[in-house]
Amino acid sequence: MISSHRNCSFRVSTFAFATLVVLELFASPAQARRNKEPVIFARSAEDPVLRHRVATLAPGVDPEEARLVVSTAYTTGRELARKWRVLWPPGLQNFLVNTGARKGGLCFQWAAELLSRLDGLQLKTLELHWAESYPGTASEHNVIVVTARGQPFFQGILFDNWRYCGRLAWGPINGDPEYEWKENPAELTSRLARSRSESGHRPKTAAKSSSNTGL
């Protein structure tokens, strides 16, 4: 059992850390120097706007696959938020995970779980991509990007469950006001291999990155 003194100290430390995170969010120079529209919130698992956006990535996209991707991304965020007992702001959740007070909630964990679930859909007209921003820094962030099959990465739509603690945010790659996204095909390959190994299942049609000939 944790002593009352230690518990109090933990609460004070957590509050101080949360305050710093909030101040950092409002004073972010990366956000201040870019005049871009914010990402959009998905309104439901059947959000018609997002479904239409995915379905119209290219003429050959199957509307049913678009529906499944949106529904999966939306419900994944909500389910993980409950499972990991996620708190706002996301930097606070990161702190709790790193100190052992929470089992999950880091940005790459959100992305990896979503990737695994989307991969399980055995998509044929859509592709999945692993995207990263500011890799190797304290500001690193990871999301999943969806494109039509054979479509360039930067024409895709990002799916982000971490930024708003389980509330699905989405938008174009180049329109993000807070992050600068780059594709990491090697990470996609590694994550998919790990996920399929753990589940003991390999989809008949893998969602691979078209921008990397090694996949």
Tens digits of residue pLDDT in 67-79: 999 999 999 999 9
Using pLDDT thresholds of 50, 70 and 90, give the confidence band for residue 175: confident
Please give the mean pLDDT across all residues of the chain. 83
Grade residue 132 by pLDDT with cuts at 50, 70 and 90.
very high
Q: Mean pLDDT across the stretch 52-63?
A: 98
User: What's the predicted TM-score (pTM) here?
Assistant: 0.77
Sequence-separated (6 or more) residues with CB below 8 Å from residue 37? 171, 175, 177
**64-to-49, 93, 118, 135, 145 alpha-carbon distances in Å:** 14, 34, 13, 34, 18
Calpha distance 136→108 (Å, rounded):
13
Domain ranges for the chain, please list them. Answer: 7-199
Assess contact for 151 and 57: CB atoms under 8 A: yes
State in Å, rounded, how far the first CA of the chain is from the last one: 49
- Residue 14: is its pLDDT beyond 80? no
- Give the single-character DSSP code of 177: S
Residue scoring higher pLDDT (134 or 23): 134
